[in-house]
Amino acid sequence: MKKAELPQPLRGIIPPIITPLLARDTLDKAGLAKLVEHILGGGVHGIFILGTTGELSSLSYRVRHEMVESTCEWVAGRVPVLVGITDTALPESIQLAQTAEKCGAAAVVAAAPYYFSLNQAELTSYYQHLADQLPLPLFLYNMPSHTKISLAPKSVKILAQHPHIVGIKDSSGNGVNFQLLHYQLKDEPDFSLLVGPEELTAEVVLLGAHGGINGGANLFPRLYVDLYEAAVNRDLDRLLPLHQRVLQISTHLYSVGNSQASYLQGVKCALSLMGICRNILAEPLQPFGEKEQKIIRQHLQEIQAALNTKVPV
């Protein structure tokens, strides 16, 4: 078991990887290996598994544990692995964290429990209690569109005092809250502030955030790493065209069809067209049919032309 150290704070591009499947309840280990190599080849700074992009909640527990084991084994300590343990049942979160620790993951990530609605005090108390029992450092994960609650900047400030809580992935898309959170954390230089939506990575890194957990990095890892570096270096001439490519990807790959899961459908479909994994989603989500695949293929070719890359589609 090889394990990568977790930098403090964690910086850079950490792709939230999809879970490659052979069937609804069968992990595609060869696809996973291909995906990991594709992503590491782009120079990313870590890998996040079993997030929303990883269809965490749709997988059986058997497959979730397998995904942890297989990813850690294949990554083999080359970058830190972050494991999503989001669950409505605290004992299941802890078990997954124990598997993560055993396999050499660097940290775990948890969104709010998503069945019952909690208030800020209840959510803060939940996270403190969870962190107390975890064998690995914890990243908070703010995902209100899926959990029905947004972690308030003030709650994050309180939680940042907990010795096991080391950062946050904010996927709210709420730019105001992100900046107010940044301000609340101004005296916590080791607390990692990472943004979910890739449309925001350029701007928040320019203003001092630590990086992005961006789904598009499954497809074009180098683009996101380049964008991150341009932002860190305040090189706006280099940054703006890269940012345009990210917006092109978002506009043309993530909103095909009329499902609210069009982002996930688009990413998995594009990866299948690139020969990396199959176009299979776990229920309740459905993969794109032929009509949408055709649209994705065309958009993907346009993006590749703009990026001047040569991966076959």
Cβ–Cβ under 8 Å, residues 147 and 56 = no
Of 76, 232, 261, 295, the one binding a second copy (CB under 8 A) is 261
Tokens of 48: 């996040």
SS3 15: coil
Range 27-66, binding a second copy (CB under 8 A): 52, 56-61, 63
**Least separation in angstroms between CB 202 and a second copy:** 6
Of 5, 187, 283, 290, the one binding a second copy (CB under 8 A) is 283
- The site string for a second copy over 110-129 (x = CB under 8 A, - otherwise) reads ---xxxxxxx--xx-xx--x
Contact range with a second copy by CB under 8 A, out of 36-44, 221-229, 258-266, 295-303: 258-266
Query: Any bridge partners for residue 192, and if so which?
Result: 167
| Maximum Cα interatomic distance, the chain, rounded to a whole number of Å | 51
- The site string for a second copy over 144-173 (x = CB under 8 A, - otherwise) reads -xx-x------------------------x
Cβ–Cβ under 8 Å, residues 215 and 197 = no
Q: Which of 170, 172, 163 is nearest to 144 (CA)?
A: 172
Cβ–Cβ under 8 Å, residues 55 and 285 = yes
The verdict on 206 binding a second copy (CB under 8 A) reads yes
**Least separation in angstroms between CB 247 and a second copy:** 4
The verdict on 131 binding a second copy (CB under 8 A) reads no
The identity of residue 64, as a single letter, is R
The identity of residue 234, as a single letter, is R
Of 8, 88, 301, 309, the one binding a second copy (CB under 8 A) is 88
Q: Which one of 34, 127, 141, 268 is the catalytic residue? A: 141
Of 138, 193, 202, 300, the one binding a second copy (CB under 8 A) is 202
Number of CB atoms found within 10 A of residue 248's CB: 15
Cβ–Cβ under 8 Å, residues 257 and 288 = yes
> Phi then psi for 281, rounded to 5 degrees?
-110, 150
Q: How far is it, in rounded angstroms, from Cα 64 to Cα 85?
A: 9
Was 149 annotated as part of a binding site? no
Tokens of 57: 């909640």
Tokens of 252: 């043309």
Binding residues for pyruvate: 53, 213
**What are the residues binding a second copy (CB under 8 A)?**
24-25, 52, 56-61, 63, 88-92, 95, 113-119, 122-123, 125-126, 129, 145-146, 148, 173-180, 182-184, 186, 197, 199-200, 202-204, 206-208, 234, 236, 240, 243-244, 247-248, 250-251, 258-261, 282-286
Residues annotated catalytic, as ranges: 141, 169
